[in-house]
Structure 1
């Protein structure tokens, strides 16, 4: 039986909620989960052994709820959670959950002094995604329809086969398995070995193993200078590569423009751009051929769709970065999407995996973004803070 004081508080909250409009935000909660990644994954600049998910659930006065999340590769999750809990969630109570743009603007301005960056963007994204999910669920429509509904399926490439930390034989075996058993038609390989010839050997042997009909991209994870990129990419061009991803630091817009004068491989990037206005600068100066907004790192669906709108106006292709379960919603909504990225790191806490058929990810035909977390798994991996 509830203690009298707690019972009174509960009745008081229920009374307040009963006076709200049904779409008013009644509750908002946040937690952090940390999923081990074993063996650790590595690229040209880093290795990581965990995936962190700051998760937000928002409920309206009618009892409808939506879930959103950001992510880190093992660093900063507690900082993001603290920002969400202490600075952002208190500003949501009673707000009209339908007015996502207004809420986004309020939250962004309230913490503008923190400056743009991955911590702020992740915090905003977790709330923003939850609001979009809530609205789509309330209206009983798939979120990708609500955002534009351009497609029911999107091509998907497998990055998990190509980590730089994998031995060459393992990478070849996994690449062949992804193509022959799992139906992938595109693979991404990490590059950036100290010895250029090792990069050439790895890419060349995977190309030979999977054949010329399979799309291959490469990713240097911002590890080169312009001069290094030109030198390293010239011997790789013969492998018919679909793009070179992040050959340079994301801030080097002029470097990306210079690279295009020397290399024929299309330039892709955007996962390390945390503000839509910086995407605008890249588009205006012709720095990138393919935009890769990361929904968590750019600030959520609201910000990602702004980037996609600019890409559409500039006739540029879009391939959202990681989080395939959520990236699929954005990619299926827009006409200019060409790929989403498959890395199965969230699967330990999901009720169902993303559906892949003949090299395409199938957009879920359910209300909201279609991502359902396994509550028992969340409790298992929750970080108590």
Structure 2
């Protein structure tokens, strides 16, 4: 079996209302899908979030993938990971991630097994939290309360909200509104998206300690490893980082520094499923948990495979403007707030290219 072709499709869809977190703003969802085709008729797909740089890197990697057996994921990964050519971190590594995910989708389809089963098959269902609580124009406390009520109606047992985009006092009021809305038994996770300096992170962190917060995510710059380690020592609320980290070597630095209790390793960012499993194993050896950032259609499979998988991020249509078009059927929360990854081969969820066609920005 050999890979004989690689196709790239890029899509973009505007959010109904632009959304913002503590540091970044988003007017659209931009996704690049890569599909790999074998000489005996199999097709595997993967995707990453990004635009032009991801597309260009995928096209330049094509010659390194064509002719390879898709089961040789380690060899293909080493052929693609060329720091002097593509850099060590960034959108180029997201392109490697998309190809590697497509390879695992192919492996699963050929083997007749889901990716979760191929990687370890540790559990059938995984806990999930709904990611939201973004800043939006005109949303206010009333809009935040309405959003949280909808999350409860969806079966959420854990929710994540953004902080860092307004003053500390106002964000604490927002957290209190959410707690009053969802009650004492639903987990609240807060995410600053790199918005704070060390002083402000510590200041709000001490207030979070009083509010039974499940975790404090990305309080500082992703490069301030020592600062995150200091927060771990000084706060009771667990620190979660890693969605902006790349490769096993990047995560080794974080873990050696004891920079977090929870790592948000994203297979769509850090180098794909092959690299994600190395990070998960490294985390297990260091007695820390993995709670991936990124699309649940991929990460529910991965967390179901490992003993140290904590929880999965769950996006609805409000945060992924392409989700409804991408998937003819998608994962949903059960009454316990869990998701059950498909047992169908590979990723187990087909893509709807027909519905995506109206959002197409590039194809080759």
Q: Same fold (TM over 0.5)?
A: yes
Deviation larger for 375-384 or 284-293: 375-384
Task: Say whether the 8 Å CA contact 1:35–1:348 is kept in structure 2.
Answer: no
Cα distance between partner residues in 1 of 2:21 and 2:91: 22
Does residue 354 in structure 1 map to residue 334 in structure 2? no
- Rounded Cα–Cα distance in structure 2 between residues aligned with 1:193 and 1:84: 34
Identify the residue that residue 195 of structure 2 maps to in structure 1.
Answer: 223
Determine if contact 1:155/1:338 at 8 Å carries over to the other structure: yes
Equivalents in 1 of 2:188, 2:45: separation in Å? 34
CA contact (8 A) 1:185 1:359 kept: yes
Deviation at 1:322, TM superposition (A): 2.0
Ranges in structure 1 where 5+ consecutive residues have no aligned partner: 1-22
1:171 aligns with 2:106: no
- From the CA coordinates, give the structure whose radius of gyration is larger: 1
Partner secondary structure for residue 365 of structure 1: coil
Partner SS state of residue 308, structure 1: helix
Q: Shift of the alpha carbon at 1:295?
A: 1.3
Distance (whole Å) between structure 1 residues aligned to residue 93 and residue 123 of structure 2 = 27
Q: Would you say how many aligned residue pairs link Structure 1 and Structure 2?
A: 355
Measure the CA separation in 1 of the matches of 2:37 and 2:104.
12
Q: 1:30: how far off? A: 1.1
User: Which residue of 2 is the match for residue 251 of structure 1?
Assistant: 223
Q: Is 2:240 the partner of 1:265?
A: no
Aligned-partner Cα distance in 2 for 1:375–1:261:
48
Q: Secondary structure at the match of 1:261?
A: helix
CA contact (8 A) 2:161 2:190 kept: yes
1:165-186: per-residue Cα shift (whole Å, max 9, x none)? 342111112112211x211100
- 1:79 matches 2:53: yes
Larger RCO (CA within 8 A; separation ≥ 6): 2
User: TM (normalized to structure 1)?
Assistant: 0.89
Aligned match of 2:212: 240
Deviates more, 1:213-222 or 1:255-264: 255-264
Unaligned runs of at least 5 residues, structure 2: none
Instruction: Give 1:383 deviation, angstroms.
Output: 0.6
CA RMSD of aligned residues (A): 1.3
SS at match of 1:35: strand
1:26 lines up with 2:4 in the alignment = yes
CA distance in 1, matches of 2:105, 2:165: 41
Deviations 1:77-127 (A, max 9, x none): 122111111x20122221111101101101113x54332222111110111
TM-score, reference length from structure 2: 0.94
**Take 1:384 and 1:61, find their aligned partners in 2: how far apart are those partners?**
25
CA contact (8 A) 2:23 2:165 kept: no
Alignment correspondent of 2:68 = 95
Q: CA deviation at 1:236?
A: 2.5
Which residue number corresponds to residue 9 of structure 1? Answer: none
Give, in angstroms, the shift of residue 164 of structure 1.
2.7
